[in-house]
Amino acid sequence: MSKHVDGRIGTVAALVRSTFLVNAVYADSAREYGLTQQQGQLLCVLMAQPYGMSELGAVLGLAKSSLSGLVDRSERNGLVQREPDPQDHRAVRVALTGQGAKLADEFYTETCRRIEELTSGFAPEEHDTLAALLGRVVTDNKAPVVFMEPDHTR
């Protein structure tokens, strides 16, 4: 394994390590709200709109059986509901309940705050550079929208 002499790490190591760092913050936040990390992701995805099961599975990267279990548990906890799909009467869409929307908003706001703290020592231009570069990585690789852009007007 190569190491940089000046203490800097390379792009691959930085991306992988930052992923672990963000996942740890996300998992800690979810746990404090009584959620699993996957439930937190589900709630954040559904904040934008209801999704059909196959579409939701693709966004979250879950197999059909794993997604069904996640939705079942979240439904039992009163966070999501299945509703008829207006385009296909044989299909259902998953949507947040009132309780789920409230929890999703609180979880989302707190998780954004915690993740933003990771770069609290950055100058504004460093934030802009980081956002632009990571934005390109996400866009170029067509990463699913599992977390919306934070609304700083809250």
Q: Residue 154's pLDDT is what?
A: 43
**Residues of the chain scoring pLDDT < 70:** 1-6, 150-154
d(CA 50, CA 104): 13
| Separation CA 82–CA 97 (nearest Å) | 10
* Intra-chain end-to-end CA distance of the chain, in Å: 45
Supply the pLDDT for residue 7.
Answer: 74
pTM of the model: 0.83
Residue-level pLDDT at 153:
44
What pLDDT score was predicted for residue 8? 85
Architecture of the CATH domain 27-140: Orthogonal Bundle (1.10)
Determine the Cα–Cα distance for residues 95 and 51; give it in Å rounded to an integer: 7
pLDDT at 2: 52
Amino acid, res. 10: G
- Which pLDDT belongs to residue 89? 83
